[in-house]
Structure 1
Amino acid sequence: MTAAVTSATAIRVQGLEKSYGKLAVLRGVDFEVARGSIFALLGSNGAGKTTVVRILATLLRAEAGTATVNGFDVAARAADVRESISLTGQFAAVDEILSGRENLILVAKLRHLNDAGGIADGLLARFSLTDAGGRKVATYSGGMRRRLDIAMTLIGDPPVIFLDEPTAGLDPEARIEVWKTVEKLAAGGTTVLLTTQYLDEAEKLADRIAILHQGRIIVNGTLAELKQLLPPAKVEYVEKQPSLQDVFLALVGDDGTHGTSGNARSADSGKE
């Protein structure tokens, strides 16, 4: 039985280094994540985001530096770290042959938890999947699969979860579904470390944002703090035009239902 961890810091990374052959991927990475917050690790493809997550999840060993998760050193207390975390990778790790409920029951049994069926039903309700719980996952949309995948990571109530590019390849509606799910997790006290290459995703979700570039954290702060790095904005009158996202959500709604009454006209409907 591991001791309860009361520190306000859920994740602490200091001087982390990792190379693949002659390629130095991480060259002294430092950051901290407050308990119950959403921390976005932002960077382009190949920046080292997944490498950081794999080290924190004890799937990879760093060559230098230290890291603790939930108060446990990832190198010295790997078993305790694994009991404290859950990881959702870039692709939904769900069994398409099974139903959503069966997927959840399977994971609960693998974790030797009592009342696997009750746990599954509770998570289906929490993630608005009750009506689809009996269907095979092969029939699920991308957003539903990702919600089920995240639900599976919460079995056992891990205090820290890692989401590695959770909306990669999803359509706009599915991305919004995942965003709402992540916000609910943090509101419930779960610490979320989110890696993404989508700027709007980090802006929407994160309490703090760190940018990983060429193996180092080049900036780390709140959105307001990061915006202060640029010259102050000039106040000018500009007629705001709707963005493509505004148009999309107005037409289909953020839950996939029609957002406007009547039939939308096509862009060329006025042509003779």
Structure 2
Amino acid sequence: MKKILITGSNGLLGQKLAALLLPRTDVELLATSRGENKLAEVFPTLPFASMDVTNRVQVEEVVSRFKPTHIIHTAAMTNVDQCETDQEGALKLNRDAVAYLVEACERHDVHLVHLSTDFIFDGESGPYDEEAVANPISFYGETKLMAEEIVKKAKCKWAILRTVLVYGVVHDYGRSNIVLWVRDSLRAGKVLKVVDDQFRTPTLAEDLAMGCWLVVEQDAEGIYNISGNEMLTPYQMALIVADFFKLDNSLIDKADASTFSQPAKRPPRTGFIITKAENMLGYTPHSFLEGIAMVAEQAAN
């Protein structure tokens, strides 16, 4: 029996993990998030505890009470520009919280599964494999790299899962994703400016949740790239979305990153080589088109 504690259960990945793992009879689950449980309506049987990962005492209290075999740490400040403007907050959530979780995992012999990002790279030579040398160009990327270094020194079992541009339908969060943003904007007849000089391997949230489970199920350790396997620019993604929903793609204007003034720099070309996860974990992501179809079906419900 795997006893899995999820941090950040109200977020996109947290919700997908709950959907994937709650029905399993070989898993005992505890969802945790700061504040109230936003999933109570969707998953009324989901065990939940309020836990602020930036509070060392709370982390220790919840971990010692639940005694998980694994923690999947999804909570983070992922808004890249917010990290740039609120560096203190970014450090608390993306670095310090990881240190507290590592301490608790070491004390209670817990396997830590930590989520990381393609933004630890400068984007000069993507796609990247697990051995690539990190060189972040944003404060978000810096904090996530700091977290990785903390995890790598941990005296407990650990795995780092790096991912790229996660999209999916999230319950009760008001957060959009590239698929719904393009669909809804085009339906409203809005002209979209979309960058065509940044390359990513977009990741369906359900695929990322499955990657987390495969690591837990196999007690896998080390670093794994978990993403989609198609290298696309946001402009290319927007065209595929328009085509899927049979919408007017002439409203989509090609732009380059210099068009947008954003506090944080974005790496131009990241994306991941996922061969290790495919071969060692049996990870098989959906295509971007399959992902759009899943998002469309969920958003219609």
How does the TM-score come out when normalised to structure 1?
0.29
Larger gyration radius, structure 1 or structure 2? 1
User: Which fold has the larger relative contact order, with Cα–Cα distance below 8 Å and residues 6 or more apart in sequence?
Assistant: 1
Structure with the bigger percentage of strand: 1
Normalised to the residue count of structure 2, the TM-score between the two structures is: 0.27
